[in-house]
Structure 1
Amino acid sequence: MSKVEFGDRLAESTHNFSAQSLNHQSQAKIQAKGNFDTDIAIIGAGVHALTLTMHLLQKRQDLREKILVFDPSGDWLTQWHRQFAAQEIPHLRSPIVHHPDPNPFALRRFAETHPNELFPPYDLPSTKLFRDFCQNAIASQQLSERLMAAKVISLEPILSPRRGFRLGLSHGKSITAKRVVLATNNSIKQIPHWVERIAPNYPSDRLVHSSDLNLASQRLAGETILIVGGGLTSGHLALGAIARGAKVLLLSRRQFKEKLFDADAGWLGPKYLKGFHAETNWEKRREMVLTARDGGSMTPSVMTQLRREHHQGRLEFHPECEVAQAQWHSSYWQIACTDGMELTCDHLWLATGTRFDAKAEPLLHQIMEQYPQPLINGFPILDEHLRWHDCELFIMGGLAALRVGPTARNISGARMASDRIVPALTKSTIRSFKF
């Protein structure tokens, strides 16, 4: 298949799913010649994928026609925008220098034409400013042309005649790629153990994890909401529920903590990262990641708003309180806490965060069979370019924490990951390490 023919197929794919990949006979011919449908396949179209794509094209514009990005939404940052809207988050927690553009000052320059879109104390960009900035970058670089509306449901190693990957797509077709970057939000909901003991006789909308909540769809006037968790998400949800006429009970197994960022700013540079990268014991690195993130925390601005609601009687703080048992009684929850306190509420919301485990990522199942490697509490030991052992698969996001550090899942982590991956994708002489 010529480059022109494949380019025609790519153009047609935005209108017709059946043309998004090659049929099995064509694939067989391609494999026989040792060629691939695309050089670089990026799975996911979130902040990490966008950051990597922009960094790649800054270094090598000629890679544009060699990159394909896959996301079921068919658009960039869909899940990101949806989550911010669902929780009514007014601004980012990260400062203005953290964004997908390789130029750290690009967002500040963009903000000069968008007044009143920065929040103190460190010029935190508003949700709208960040969205507009990213959309402007996507449009100016025509990045939507490289995006396919398809979910990758399988990732199969190809061993001969040249090593690569076959990506199984949700509409039944597949595409082959020489190199793959996994840039999805591969986190898993953290569900407290006591939830597993609840009899399944309650309405599904009365016990919900924060990642499944949409405040705009809630009718909460006169209701009591019990939110489990002490992180920023619980704060946003509490304020959103109160704004809709609800009373909120906020439970945390520890004291509520107030921090501007979810990890100390020292993790954004050599202050802490130098020692982290010098540590050769992977178990200790994992402990360093956990210690640095140290559970959930609220920003000072959100805590100020919550205290105001507490003084008005619309919110109760319950620190150092854990749920021991929850029972549904036809129209309300009866909650027993480990300290003997009992509470009642109409809704249970779990703002208990997420975790990462490579074994739970379906796209890694065949990879781990063909290229087994050690995991540290579910985290893979990647090479310095965030490459899976002995193959051309690169990992971004939380699963790369043992290399990138505690901010791997954040926007700053996307930039750090891109700085590691780009040299490996642009210089064919860089090879993966072996155990």
Structure 2
Amino acid sequence: MYEWIIIGGGIHGCTIALSLLKSGKVNKEDILIIDPHSSPLERWKERTERIQMPFLRSPSVHHIDVTPFSLEKYAKKINYDNPFYGYYDRPSLNLFNQHAATVSKEASLQDIWCQSKVKEMGKPGLFWEIETEEQHIYFAKNSVIAIGNNELHYPAWANELNNGYHIFDSELNMDNIKPPLLIVGGGITAAHTAISLSHRFPGEVTLMSRHPFRVHDFDSDPGWLGPKYLDAYSKIKNYDVRRKRIYQARHRGSIPSELYSRLHRLNKNGKLSIVQSEIQTVSSESNVLISKESTVFRPATVLFATGFEPALTNQRWLRHLITKQNLTCANCGYPIVEESLEWCPHLFVMGPLAELEIGPASRNIIGARKATERIMRNIH
């Protein structure tokens, strides 16, 4: 029997776990994190390593520890060389991961770790019952669902290819990819991937985006982190309108200015080709792609940097939970929750599941911090 079971051991799950442990309100033996990976932030580390992201997009005060300046203090303590980039002190990815590993180790998160997948979840009595795929059943007074949507998004024509891979496909081995390469996408993932691979295969990489580069420092205006926009947002009672506000606020497929400059420098130097277009015709037999302008591409490898499906994650146990517990969802399929982020008594959500309450930054690192603040404020 646990006081808290957290489903998901990524940035969101670890942020709430650290706050619960450091608050002194919960003992280590009363918390369990269930995650399919072997250690905290494993999927985050895999994906950011794959695209060779040197610095985060978010500022230094956005991290998984409790106090805002923890990361800056850590950088000074270990005398880290070149820890931050630019006006907003965006941390080096390596520094961010080192800091996360250090605070996780200090809090002994590995001791409360259960490497497994959830099979079923319900509340037949007073407590939550969570069954894993190994048929272990765990009981909890409170549960936090801190999962993202990991269903990969592909263009409609992608299934006609036999040499196409999503950049975040776990089966993809980056050591085995062969040039020439076509990278499909126009956002930050596509940009990092193109920059990295153009150094590895100079002159043999093409980046194809459907739209001109959208240059923004962050993927939504910083006003969404505080009362500037959230006060008015929280007064909206119609969840269709909230969804529309989130959609309008997100700078989808955008990149910060230094990536824009690097892409154009590589393009100018002939190391990278940049094309604004989209594929119209695919010949699966010869892997020939033809753009809507009739340009012919013959890539040995196509990499899709096209993000994730926007719909609610399609995990079976979550669908069953919604039905069994009669949990309220908006027309978009996402949870309607209390200000405390409770979906029903003693069941909290974070990340994408909390965005109708937290707003457009809900999926980000700051969204993890904002959600944690809400949950911590409402426990005694």
Query: For residues 386 and 371 of structure 1, do their structure 2 counterparts lie closer, same or farther at Cα, with a shift above 3 Å needed?
Result: same
Residues 189, 353 of structure 1: 8 Å contact kept? yes
Cα deviation for residue 257 of structure 1 reads 1.3
Residues 335, 343 of structure 1: 8 Å contact kept? yes
Whole-angstrom distance in 2 between the partners of 1:184 and 1:176:
19
Structure 1 equivalent of residue 316 of structure 2: 362
Whole-angstrom distance in 1 between the partners of 2:94 and 2:252:
28
Structure 1 equivalent of residue 45 of structure 2: 81
Structure 1 equivalent of residue 376 of structure 2: 422
Q: Indicate the percent of aligned positions where both proteins have the same amino acid.
A: 30
The residue correspondences of 1:35-74 to structure 2 (distance < 5 A) are 37-74=1-38
Structure 2 equivalent of residue 175 of structure 1: 138
Cα deviation for residue 150 of structure 1 reads 2.2
Cα deviation for residue 153 of structure 1 reads 2.4
Structure 2 equivalent of residue 326 of structure 1: 282
The residue correspondences of 1:87-126 to structure 2 (distance < 5 A) are 87-112=51-76, 113-126=79-92
Structure 1 equivalent of residue 229 of structure 2: 272
Whole-angstrom distance in 2 between the partners of 1:102 and 1:312:
44
The residue correspondences of 1:273-292 to structure 2 (distance < 5 A) are 273-292=230-249
Residues 219, 244 of structure 1: 8 Å contact kept? no
Among candidates 399, 406, 413, match of residue 360 of structure 2: 406
Give a deviation string over 1:304-353, Cα, whole Å, max 9, x none: 2111111122222222x2222322234xx222233444333221111111
The residue correspondences of 1:22-421 to structure 2 (distance < 5 A) are 37-112=1-76, 113-155=79-121, 157-160=122-125, 162=126, 164-196=127-159, 198=160, 202=162, 206-212=163-169, 216-220=174-178, 223-245=179-201, 247-319=204-276, 321-330=277-286, 333-358=287-312, 360-372=314-326, 373-388=328-343, 390-421=344-375
Whole-angstrom distance in 2 between the partners of 1:184 and 1:359:
9
TM-score by length of 1: 0.81
Structure 2 equivalent of residue 11 of structure 1: none
One-letter amino acid matched to 1:280? K
Whole-angstrom distance in 1 between the partners of 2:350 and 2:100:
19
Greater Rg, structure 1 or structure 2?
1
One-letter amino acid matched to 1:82? E
SS in 2 for 1:184: coil
TM-score by length of 2: 0.92
Structure 2, gaps ≥5 residues long = none
Residues 371, 391 of structure 1: 8 Å contact kept? no
Deviates more, 1:333-342 or 1:406-415: 333-342
Cα deviation for residue 106 of structure 1 reads 1.0
Whole-angstrom distance in 2 between the partners of 1:168 and 1:326:
44
Residues 359, 378 of structure 1: 8 Å contact kept? no
Whole-angstrom distance in 1 between the partners of 2:26 and 2:335:
31
Query: For residues 212 and 187 of structure 1, do their structure 2 counterparts lie closer, same or farther at Cα, with a shift above 3 Å needed?
Result: closer
**Structure possessing the higher relative contact order (Cα contacts under 8 Å, 6 or more residues apart):** 2
Residues 87, 215 of structure 1: 8 Å contact kept? no
Give a deviation string over 1:366-401, Cα, whole Å, max 9, x none: 21112332333222212212222x343221111211
SS in 2 for 1:287: helix
